[in-house]
Amino acid sequence: MHQGLKKKDLLGIKELATEEISLILDTASSFKEVLGRDIKKVPALRGKTVFNLFFEPSTRTKTSFELAAKRLSTDVMNFSVPTSSVVKGECLIDTIKTIEAYGVDFVVMRHYSSGAPHFISRHVDASVINAGDGINEHPTQALLDAFTILEKKGGLSGLTIAIVGDILHSRVAKSNIYLLSRFDTHVRLIGPPTLIPDLRDYPAEVFYDIHEGLKDADVIMMLRIQMERQGKGFFPSTLEYSKYWGLDPQKLDIAKRDAIVMHPGPMNRGIEIASDIADSSRSVILEQVTNGIAVRMAVMYLLSRVKGNG
Ligand code: CP
């Protein structure tokens, strides 16, 4: 493991070269082996500091980055927006400059505005890692999804991957589309017309009928219905959404017999995915969570090897 990434920040899959994506996934395999040991910790980033700066709620991403940082022997600080001076009106740039004054090496940032991590990255020397920005990208989620598919299917090339649900508002979907399209996969986007964006930017095939879209799929990636956007008329009711777009055993039968089911979480059980499926042997949802640690270790490790970050 002697190579690094080319830029000091990880802002999106769009900004990564294909060989950088492969390097992250290969490095994550090495870290996954470390995580299987009795002592799950390496001194790779001893003396470095990671700052978790989350302006939106998170369970998986925040805890996974924290654990990944600890497994690499860094010091980790968590920033709680509701108890910070942000609520007194402190602006983003002053918040980030204050944090940088502590000499942090990594800022892991989730923000409700698309582009916020990109803006911050231009004002700090620390490596900025995008942990989800608005409806733009969630790059480490796509990386851990690809890692999980590779583990289960042995490769990405030739696979048919169906992404189902609210593509329009999903940063997870966008990062996945950008990543998967680099590796000769067939990406299908399935959902109601109101939740599928203008496709000029997305190399994918669109299906409004889930029965058509799931035919011969190797991987089914269900997306969270963003309840906070309910009432804006994207679909008539959750009941109807569940009937037409939710994954139930009958719809799962349309995909290949060995198709795996993924979900980035958090899930709305009984709406976009039936509980029986989420908890079944076809589901790799908790494996996605586990793999998030190794992938985030790989990202931080490789960013530390960018010239000037060592
Ligand atoms: N997948 C994901 O981003 O989950 P959290 O919102 O819990 O971090």
With a 6 Å cutoff on the Cβ, whether 139 touches ligand 1 is no
Residue 127 has pLDDT above 50, yes or no: yes
Which residues are catalytically annotated? 60-61, 88, 110, 138
Instruction: Check if 61 has its Cβ closer than 6 Å to any atom of ligand 1.
Output: yes
How many percent of the chain have pLDDT more than 70?
A: 97
Assess whether the C-beta atom of 60 lies below 6 angstroms from ligand 1: yes
Atom of ligand 1 lying closest to residue 131 CA: 3
- Is residue 309 over pLDDT 80? no
pLDDT of residue 230: 60
Which pair of structure tokens corresponds to residue 128?
Answer: 């900025």
What architecture is domain 139-285? Answer: 3-Layer(aba) Sandwich (3.40)
Our answer on whether the CB atom of 266 is closer than 6 Å to any ligand 1 atom is yes
Q: Where are the domains of the chain?
A: 13-137+289-306, 139-285
Q: Tell me: the pLDDT tens digits for 144-181?
A: 999 999 999 999 999 999 999 999 999 999 999 999 99
Report which protein residue has its CA nearest ligand 1's atom 3.
Answer: 61
Q: Does residue 1 surpass a pLDDT of 70?
A: no
What is the three-state SS of the chain?
Answer: CCCCCCCCCECCCCCCCHHHHHHHHHHHHHHHHHHCCCCCCCCCCCCCEEEEEECCCCCHHHHHHHHHHHHCCCEEEEEEHHHCHHHHCCCHHHHHHHHHCCCCCEEEEEECCCCHHHHHHCCCCCEEEEEEECCCECHHHHHHHHHHHHHHHCCCCCCEEEEECCCCCCHHHHHHHHHHHHHCCEEEEECCHHHCCCHHHCCCEEECCHHHHCCCCCEEEECCCCHHHCCCCCCCCHHHHHHHHCECHHHHCCCCCCCEEECCCCCCECCCECHHHHCCCCECHHHHHHHHHHHHHHHHHHHHCCCCCC
219 pairs with which residues across the strands? 161, 260
Q: Can you give the pLDDT at residue 40?
A: 96
pLDDT tens string 68-124: 999 999 999 998 888 899 999 999 999 999 999 999 999 999 999 999 999 999 999
- Residue with the larger pLDDT of the pair 283 and 84: 283
Predicted local distance difference test score (pLDDT) of residue 199: 75
Residue 185 in contact with residue 221, Cβ under 8 Å? Answer: no
Q: How confident is the model at residue 226 (pLDDT cuts 50, 70, 90)?
A: confident
Which atom of ligand 1 is nearest to 56's Cα? 6
Task: Write down the mean pLDDT value for the chain.
Answer: 94
Give me the pLDDT at residue 308, please.
65
For residue 198, name the pLDDT band (cuts at 50, 70, 90): confident
pTM, two decimals, is 0.96
Provide the CATH topology of domain 13-137+289-306: Rossmann fold (3.40.50)
Mean pLDDT, range 24-39, rounded to an integer: 97
Q: Ligand 1, atom 1: nearest CA belongs to which residue?
A: 264
Largest CA distance in the chain: 56
13-137+289-306 against 139-285: fold identical:
yes
Candidates 237, 257, 261; CA nearest to 248 is: 261
Lowest mean pLDDT among 1-5, 109-113, 148-152, 238-242: 1-5
Q: Are 148 and 295 in contact (CB under 8 A)?
A: no
The string of pLDDT tens digits covering residues 37-74 is 999 999 999 999 999 999 999 999 999 999 999 999 99
pLDDT at 173: 97
